[in-house]
Structure 1
Amino acid sequence: MVKLTPEQIQFWKDNGYIKLSGIFAEQELETLSKEYDRLFFLKNNPGMEAAPLGAAMAKATSGDNYSVHSIHNLQYHSSIFANALHNENLLDALESVMGTEDILLHHTKAHYKPPRVGAPYLMHQDYHYFPFKKHSMVAAFIHIDKADPENGGLCIYPGSHKLGPLEDVGILEKGDRNHYVDNKKYPIEKATPVIAERGDVVIFTYLTVHGSYRNVSDRPRRMYLIQLMSAHDEPVASVHKSLGQGWVLRGKNDYKKADLAERFLH
């Protein structure tokens, strides 16, 4: 059981994120790592390319070619990733920060940043991809590899969640397919790097401004991300309709509609 201390809860409230160690046992991590590599090798094709596009990204990368490979809804590709959704330590930690035991799945994804050419992600809020009324949405970012600024690790603006939804500048960029905030106000260079060991889990709110660096190292950066929401919240718009959305991972969902697919997918 992972019960966060009052100090950790306060850090979460103040900063909008928290880094935790010891969530996954070493054997679980090794199993995830091997299955991760198997999936990305098996499914490696042009459709996996997910590097951000647009003028702002071109400026951030000086026009160089960068790459990120992505797989969504991994629980539909392998039971290994489905099992990780039910890790009791992770759910204990999520319950502590979310303030409810009624936890629902929104979606999962994995991003692989290749050595030397792994693309950065500009600073953004996940809110713009899937807004919810009560802002209960959080992400659990599981590090399959050790991560730092050199191999494309995560970076955050601590406390930015308190600002609420910020202007979505990404939608104004011609040719862009990603959301991001004003990177003159929130440059990646001034963000706080999250230095993480293999197996560390970073939980952050979907209002927390975050991004990630280029991978300029000889190491890959592999991650598995689980996005979750409270059963007591509901979407503002019918967007980002992922497979398995509304799956109850802990607790219950007593929402008056019995058809979760109707609630979340239509």
Structure 2
Amino acid sequence: MVKLTPEQIQFFKDNGYIKVSGIFTEKELQTLSKEYDRLFFLKNNPGMESAWLGSAMANAVNGDNYSVHAVHNLQYHSSIFANALHNENLLDTLEGVMGTEDILLHHTKAHYKPPRVGAPYLMHQDYPYFPFKKHSMVAAFIHIDKADPENGGLCIYPGSHKLGPLEDVGTIEKGEAYHYVDPKKYPIEKATPVVAERGDVVIFSYLTLHGSYRNLSDRPRRMYLIQLMAADDEPLVPGVHKSLGQGWVLRGKNDYKKADMAERFLH
């Protein structure tokens, strides 16, 4: 059983993130790892490319080749990833940092950074992608591999969530929007690396400035990310970033959801 201490909860409030170990058993990690590799091998196609484009990214990689493969809505590809959404240790931890037992799914995704050419992600907040009124949104970043700056690990500006929504200087390239803050004002070099062991989970607010380094090592960096919100929160822009299964109640209840006509006709 993993339950956050008052000191850990205060750390999250102060810094906008926390790293937690022991959420998944060794058997669960082995199952996730095996299914992760099967899924990415099976789905391998050009549409999985998820590296950001634009001049800022070109500057970040000095013109080198770079790549990241992604799969979204993993619970619709495999029950293994659906089971992880109901991990009691994970939900206990989320309840501690979110301050509510009424926890809803927003979306899931996984990024695979290949060795030697793994792309970085510039410092950004997740807020511009899906702004919510009460800012309850958090991400649970599950490390399938050990991660550090050498293989493209996560980095964070501690306490940046207290700044609120920051200016977005991102771009739109080939119809895709990339949101990030000014790299000169918030360079990745000044961020705090989050060195994590295999199985560690980093939970951070969607207002926390975060990014990740290039993977120039011989090791891959695999992660599975779950984005969640409180049931009493609501989007500032309805219909933005709609994902499969969004609003799925993972713990507690959702007394704020209204029945609609589609639901009535199901009975």
TM-score of the alignment, normalized to the shorter chain, above 0.5:
yes
- Partner amino acid, structure 2, of 1:233: D
Are the structure 2 counterparts of residues 120 and 234 from structure 1 closer, same or farther at C-alpha, using a change threshold of 3 Å? same
Q: Report the CA distance between 1:114 and its aligned residue.
A: 0.2
C-alpha distance after superposition, 1:86-119 (max 9, x if no partner):
0000000000000000000000000000000000
Deviations, residues 189-239 of structure 1 (Å, cap 9, x unaligned):
000000000000000000000000000100000000000000010001121
State the alpha-carbon separation in 1 of the partners of residues 195 and 68 from structure 2: 20
The one-letter code sitting in structure 2 at the alignment partner of 1:162 is: K
Gaps of 5+ in 1: none
Q: Give the corresponding residue for 1:217.
A: 217
Q: What is the identity, as a one-letter code, of the residue corresponding to 1:248? A: V
Please give the root-mean-square deviation of Cα atoms over the aligned residues, in Å. 1.6
- In structure 2, the residue matched to 1:113 is 113
1:152 aligns with 2:164: no
SS in 2 for 1:7: helix
CA spacing shift, 1:188–1:258, aligned 2, 3 Å:
same
Task: Report the CA distance between 1:178 and its aligned residue.
Answer: 1.1
1:257 maps to 2:263 = no
Instruction: Give the C-alpha shift of residue 65 in structure 1.
Output: 1.2
Once residues 262 and 186 of structure 2 are traced to their aligned partners in structure 1, the CA distance between those partners, rounded to angstroms, is 37
Q: Distance in 2 between the 1:190 and 1:22 partners?
A: 29
Q: Tell me how far 1:183 sits from its aligned partner.
A: 1.1
Question: Relative to structure 1, is the Cα distance of residues 121 and 208 closer, same or farther in structure 2, using a 3 angstrom cutoff?
Answer: same
Does structure 2 conserve the Cα–Cα contact (< 8 Å) formed by 1:53 and 1:177? no
| Aligned equivalent of 1:197 | 197
In the alignment, is the contact (CA less than 8 A) between 1:161 and 1:209 conserved in 2? yes
TM-superposed CA distance for 1:258, in Å, is 2.2
Identity %: 88
1:143 aligned residue: 143
**Maintained 8 Å contact 1:2/1:93:** yes
The separation in 1 between residues aligned to 2:174 and 2:75, in whole angstroms, is: 34
Determine if contact 2:54/2:171 at 8 Å carries over to the other structure: no
TM-score (norm 2): 0.95
Amino acid at match of 1:258: A
**Cα distance in 2 between the residues matched to 1:261 and 1:61:** 48
Separation in structure 2 between the aligned mates of residue 33 and residue 152 of structure 1, nearest angstrom: 18
Deviation at 1:260, TM superposition (A): 11
CA contact (8 A) 1:56 1:173 kept: no
User: Partners of 2:20 and 2:152 in 1: how far apart?
Assistant: 19
Match of 1:246 in 2: 247
The verdict on how the C-alpha distance between 1:244 and 1:174 changes in structure 2, with shifts beyond 3 A counting, is closer
How far apart are the structure 2 equivalents of 1:18 and 1:173?
Answer: 33
**1:162-241 pair list within 5 angstroms:** 162-171=162-171, 177-237=177-237, 238-241=239-242
1:34-183 superposed matches below 5 A: 34-171=34-171, 177-183=177-183
| CA distance in structure 1 between the aligned counterparts of 2:213 and 2:179, rounded to whole angstroms | 16
* Secondary structure of 1:177's aligned partner: strand
Contact persistence 1:55–1:174 (CA under 8 A): no
Task: Give CA deviations for 1:67-95 in whole Å, capped at 9, x if unaligned.
Answer: 00000000000000000000000000000
Letter matched to residue 252 of structure 1:
K
Rounded to whole Å, the distance in 1 between the matches of 2:233 and 2:261 is 13
Structure 1-normalised TM-score? 0.95
Structure 2: gaps of 5 or more residues? none
SS at match of 2:197: coil
Q: What number of residue pairs does the alignment pair up?
A: 262
Q: Is the 8 A contact 1:107 1:226 kept in 2?
A: yes
CA distance in 2, matches of 1:68, 1:261: 38
Q: For residue 128 of structure 1, what is the amino acid of its counterpart?
A: P
